[in-house]
Amino acid sequence: MSVPVKDILSGNVRAAARLMRDLDDEIPAAIRTIKSLYRHTGRAYILGVTGAPGAGKSTLVNRITSLLRSRGKTVGIAAIDPTSPYSGGAILGDRIRMQQHALDEGVFIKSLATRGHLGGLSRSTIDIVNVMDAMGKDVIIIETVGVGQDEVEIVKVAHTNLVVVVPGLGDDIQAIKAGILEIADIFVVNKADREGAEKTQREIETMVSMGEYGEGEWKPSVLSTVAATDTGTGELLEEVERHRAYVFQESRIASYRREKARVELLEILKARLIEKAVKDLTRHGLLEPILEDMARKRKDPYSIAEKVADHSFAFRLLHGKKPPAAGGKGDGR
């Protein structure tokens, strides 16, 4: 039984949760549904919140959610962070879920744990964001640790990216440089009541000032918050609004949409390609012998991957032939 498209579009929470589960299990009916849903996406405002475990991301997301709710906005949260109480929630069932919004129908929370899946985290996150978007959520928050390749890629689907840091971790500034800097639209120095907050803020400002920004280009701002006491979160949301206005400029929004499409396509394609390749290799009884040959060092993975990628599986691997030229005489005539 497939989940009806109209149930998702009407915002049915139960249907959405079921669809997300079915997508994770790669149930064909669910994939058909998400295909139909795609054209109903693109309405939500997507906010990325990235930061190391312990930076207080969850508390901050909690506060932002409350503020948005008080303004009548509905919110979806996709949490990719094993140390987050949301993800904890995913693991422990409903027990330790974000208590404050647990009974609020206007908030949909979905946690993603790292899975054994080949396509994994990125594709799942894209699926979840798209389902929430189609449900009509006004704002979708992607919460992530931002360490892995996947996490850094995935937040590129966000309109606005917050990078949350805490004071006093000098090394963090270096860590930020490693790839997070380029995704940050707004830096948030959280736990700003701690010693060293001003220093951290100054360091980030210095770092930002060393970047090069074109005429009219957004220059990352640096704000301080104490999410635990709800300090500075209102100002933060104002800054998010300011960035939103920037992104939605007529000259900018098309390039954002293109970039979002790019990340979506590549991540979904990546997952599909490897799934298909493994399925094909397995079905034709090729996978195990290849692994055996590799283990015995009779074959190397680089050459195998090249072969598999360079040609369609059926031709090169099964028959040792090149596929017909792209010119196209090959269709059986």
Contact track, a copy of itself, 67-86, x by CB under 8 A: --------------xxx-x-
* Close Cβ partners of 130 (under 8 Å, ≥ 6 residues apart): 34, 37, 38, 41
We find the least distance from the C-beta atom of residue 211 to a copy of itself, in angstroms, to be 15
Q: What gap in Å lies between CA 170 and CA 180, rounded to an integer?
A: 15
Stretch that binds a copy of itself, among 61-69, 197-205, 234-242, 290-298 (CB under 8 A): 290-298
> Least distance (Å) from a copy of itself to the CB of residue 30?
10
Residue whose token pair is 């790839």 = 179
At closest approach, how far in Å is the CB of 72 from a copy of itself? 26
Binding positions for a copy of itself, 34-73, rule CB under 8 A: 34-35, 38-39, 41-42, 52-54
Compare residues 68 and 109 and give the one whose CB is closer to a copy of itself.
109
Which residues in 270-289 contact a copy of itself (CB under 8 A)?
Answer: 270-278
CB 108 within 8 A of CB 135: yes
What is the Cβ-side half-sphere exposure of residue 239, based on CA atoms within 13 angstroms? Answer: 21
User: What's the angle, vertex CA 160, arms to CA 50 and CA 128, rounded to 5?
Assistant: 70
Residue in 84, 46, 50, 90 with CA at minimum distance from that of residue 68: 46
- Residues of this chain, 195-224, that bind a copy of itself according to CB under 8 A: none
Cα separation, 108 vs 96, in Å, equals 15
The structure tokens listed for 57 are: 């991301």
**Nearest-approach distance from CB 126 to a copy of itself, in angstroms:** 8
Give least dist CB 226 to a copy of itself, A.
20
Is residue 315 a contact residue for a copy of itself (CB under 8 A)? yes
Window 100 to 139, contacts with a copy of itself (CB under 8 A)? 113-115, 117-118, 120-122, 126
Site for a copy of itself in 244-273 (CB under 8 A): 254, 257-258, 260-262, 264-266, 268-273
Long-range contacts of 272-276 (CB under 8 A, 24+ apart): 272/119, 274/118, 274/119, 275/26, 275/118, 275/119
**Positive or negative CA dihedral for 321, 327, 332, 333?**
negative
Q: How far is the CB of 54 from a copy of itself (least distance, A)?
A: 7
Please identify, using beta-carbon distances, which residue of 1 and 325 lies nearer to a copy of itself. 325
What's the CA gap between 112 and 142, in Å, rounded? 10
Residues 152-181 contacting a copy of itself, CB under 8 A:
152, 171-172, 174-175, 177-180
State the Cα–Cα distance between residues 52 and 160, nearest whole angstrom.
18
For residues 101 and 109, is the Cβ–Cβ distance under 8 A? yes
Nearer Cβ to a copy of itself, position 152 or 237?
152
CB of 35 to a copy of itself, least distance (A): 5
Residue 106 Cβ, how far from a copy of itself at the closest point, in Å? 25
Count, residues near a copy of itself per rule CB under 8 A? 96
Give the angle 317-320-325 at the CA atoms, nearest 5°: 95
User: Is residue 13 part of the contact set for a copy of itself (CB under 8 A)?
Assistant: no
Which of 11, 106, 148, 196 is close enough to bind a copy of itself by CB under 8 A? 148
Nearer to a copy of itself, 133 or 185 (CB): 133
